[in-house]
Amino acid sequence: MTFDTGDTAFMLIATSLVMLMTPGLAFFYGGLVGRKNVLTIMIQSFVSMAIVDILWFTVGFSLSFSGGAGGVYGDFHYAFMQNMGPGTPFAGDPSIPLYAFFVYQMMFAIITPALISGAFTNRVSFKAYIIFLVAWSLFVYIPFVHMIWGGGLLATWGVRDFAGGIVVHTLAGFAALAAVFFVGARRIKDSAPHNVPLVALGTGLLWFGWYGFNAGSELTVDTVTVTAFINTDLAASVAATVWLAMAWIFEKKPKFLGLLTGAVAGLAMITPCAGYISPGASMVVGVLAGTVCYGAIWLKNRRGWDDALDVWGVHGIGGAVGAIALGVFANAAFNHPGVGPNGLLLGDTHFFAAQVAATAIGIVWAVGFTYAMLWIIDKITPVRVSSSVEEMGLDESIHGELAYVDGMEEPTAPPSARRDPEGSAKKGPTAN
């Protein structure tokens, strides 16, 4: 079998970009926590790169993308990479080898559960996290990969998700909220993000990698690839600008953290839409990301939910609203006429209803399974660390390592910059 070398090379580059997003996430989260927990939050991203790779090789890819038409899970046809070889074409696009699709999807599987870790930072044991990483991938992520991308149940309804608005962001974001409800609030809250330049570095790596995440999801190089690339950048830019403006208006300061958070929110919200809508519509999505996600974090603060790094407000709400926005703005003229969907604005009420239903199912599934999973894990090994471990910091107490030399003091910050939900009615989202 002769493959298209250009398409194959493009997919390997896109795969590398998506892989880079997980270290980017580690930097992004690492800068937001206090000095005593930097390594703990970063290892939770990096360990996903190791463990989920193995899970994907053994059963993950097979359960996602082989057999099981119209169902919830696939079968074991490709388990341990059997029944495929270097010359096996990918059925969805024979111009690339199945191996390329396998490793590309592996990178999505790595980053999705890692996103959740930002919600329960500073209070979950590493042993419990490892169990959670595997169980959540098997019982939440993989079923939705199969149902939407692998020819399963939701695909038969006509549900579309270009690069993971439901599969990645909605599931991870609402799982994060369930985890916060189960684990409870931090006893000792960080006084401020300890390293904003590290957050900026992480944001840059995420934004850069997102071109592979979204444009790469076309799985070939064509006009849709270019459109998805443009839409990704426009939505992120608009969302960052809107969030900056919101912070300036409501918090009286043009916050750098607000600009960075807004960009990530825009990237999350455009993900399901990227290859299905016009550039103009992507800018509307950016406005939605900058306002709705900002409002979601304000609500979280008002309710006192200790989602430490705003995973629910940015990824959960961003992914869910983006998936529904796709049902409104989809335009087959910007995908493949006769193949791509049209949304509510072009008269397709069925597609809009399917998007809403799939999003709702994803939310209920993620919350229910995550909460139940943590309850079961807690019976095996305590999920939450003790108060003494939390006070010492998880880096030293669990991992026996420190990110910085002794004697460096925790930075102080004015109240408006603290990531503390107490008294949050007086603060804006970007302060958290």
Give the residue-averaged pLDDT of 153-159: 97
pTM: 0.92
d(CA 12, CA 275) in angstroms, rounded, equals 19
d(CA 300, CA 190) in angstroms, rounded, equals 17
State percent of the chain over pLDDT 70.
94
Taking alpha carbons only, the member of 248, 360, 264 closest to residue 318 is: 264
The CATH number of whichever domain residue 299 belongs to comes to 1.10.3430.10
- Please tell me whether residue 328 adopts helix, strand or coil conformation: helix
d(CA 151, CA 387) in angstroms, rounded, equals 46
Query: Does 190 have pLDDT greater than 90?
Result: no
Give the residue-averaged pLDDT of 420-426: 38
Query: Does 43 have pLDDT greater than 50?
Result: yes
pLDDT, position 2: 87
Query: Does 413 have pLDDT greater than 70?
Result: no
The pair of structure tokens assigned to 245 is: 């403006």
Taking alpha carbons only, the member of 63, 169, 196 closest to residue 113 is: 169
State percent of the chain over pLDDT 90.
91
Number of domains in the chain: 1
Query: Does 417 have pLDDT greater than 60?
Result: no
2 vs 405, higher pLDDT: 2
Give the residue-averaged pLDDT of 333-348: 94
pLDDT, position 406: 63
Query: Does 165 have pLDDT greater than 50?
Result: yes
pLDDT, position 421: 34
Residue 93 DSSP label: E
Please give the residue range of the domain that contains residue 227: 5-70+78-84+91-431
Give the residue-averaged pLDDT of 90-96: 95
Query: Does 373 have pLDDT greater than 80?
Result: yes
DSSP sequence for 358-407: HHHHHHHHHHHHHHHHHHHHHHHS-SBPPHHHHHH-HIIIII---SS-TT
Encode pLDDT of 267-323 as tens digits: 999 999 999 999 999 999 999 999 999 999 999 999 999 999 999 999 999 999 999
C-alpha angle 251/255/259, rounded to 5°?
Answer: 120
Query: Does 431 have pLDDT greater than 50?
Result: no
pLDDT, position 215: 98
pLDDT band at residue 338 using 50, 70 and 90 as cut-offs:
confident
HSE-up (13 A, CA, CB side) for residue 179? 34
Encode pLDDT of 94-148 as tens digits: 999 999 999 999 999 999 999 999 999 999 999 999 999 999 999 999 999 999 9
